Amino acid sequence: MREHTPVTLVLCEGKDDRLVMERLAQHCGLDAHLKFESYDGESNLRAFLANLKVSPEFARGEYAKILVTRDADSDYDAAWKSIQGSMQKVFAQTVTQPGEWIELESGGKMAAWVIPGADQTGMIETLCLNAARSNDPVIFACLDPFVACLEANWGQKPHEKVRFGLWTIIAQGQKAKHRLSMERAIANIDFNWDDSAYDSLKQLFRDISEWNLVTIHPSTVNHPHHLGPNGAYGESHWSIMLFCIDAADGSG
């Protein structure tokens, strides 16, 4: 028996999601325990998980926990069914509710989550805007009616990224000229990281970070990646995986 400090891998739907969650984890002092990667859109999730499952790193137990995130956009139920389907197809396991841990044949565990939260619509930008709204309601007293006016004229609700893009301009103040990318917005605008809008994600990060020290029990498992130099099966590394998803449209 020996001790092993595994990597907690946070899989993000897109680059913007990754940037926000990296900064949120840093603000919470948890960035040293979490590694963030993007799977570049919900349509790529199933293939990404399939490749992850057969990777040498997975077989060696280097990823003790995996948190997959995805936006909910306008249809939470569709997003949840999507992540259920991906996990069922790749791991032959069914997760019935967000945050529910299920056992893998390899000895690990995994769970799923939809951003911004259970039964909620929206995306990572929704969390940022909600936090900003409580921090500076005067700005949104102008912005929200304008977006509502667009909706009335367009006959459909503008994408949340429209509201977010406008906010990155207005939040810069009177000298603002350009919309900011997520990376530049995080660097130049107050995202109000202490706001309760981020609480669900913060708690997820804290929960999985607390499990960072795992005891490895040597065992033999019938897995091709565990074959030793003489053909003997080597150690099986216990893994804990958390899959977090947003109900997005694949953008972000």
Write out pLDDT tens, residues 214-242: 433 333 333 333 333 333 323 333 344 55
Q: Please name the amino acid found at residue 245.
A: I
Q: Can you tell me the distance from the alpha carbon of 250 to that of 252, in angstroms, rounded to the nearest whole number?
A: 7
Q: Can you tell me the distance from the alpha carbon of 240 to that of 21, in angstroms, rounded to the nearest whole number?
A: 20
User: What residue ranges of the chain have pLDDT lower than 50?
Assistant: 1-2, 213-240, 248-252
The tokens for 221 are: 């498992």
Question: Which of 124, 131, 56, 115 is closest to 242 using CA atoms?
Answer: 115
Write out pLDDT tens, residues 47-68: 999 998 898 888 877 777 778 8
CB-count burial class (<10 Å; 0-12, 13-18, 19+) for 35: middle
The domain 2-121+195-246: what is its CATH number?
A: 3.40.50
What is the per-residue pLDDT for 179? 93
What is the per-residue pLDDT for 101? 75
What is the per-residue pLDDT for 252? 47
The pTM (predicted TM-score) of the whole model is 0.80
DSSP string, the chain: -EEE--EEEEEESSHHHHHHHHHHHHHTT-GGGEEEEE-SSGGGHHHHHHHHHTSHHHHTT-EEEEEE--B-BT-HHHHHHHHHHHHHHHHS----STT--EE-TTS-EE-EEEES-TT--B-HHHHHHHHHHHH-HHHHHHHHHHHHHHHHHHTSPPPHHHHHHHHHHHTT-TT--SPPPHHHHHHHS---TTSGGGHHHHHHHHHHHTT--EEE-------GGGB-TTS-B-PPPP-B--EEEEB--S--
As annotated, the residues of the chain forming the CATH 3.40.50 domain(s) are 2-121+195-246
Q: Can you tell me the distance from the alpha carbon of 175 to that of 170, in angstroms, rounded to the nearest whole number?
A: 9
The tokens for 16 are: 């913007």
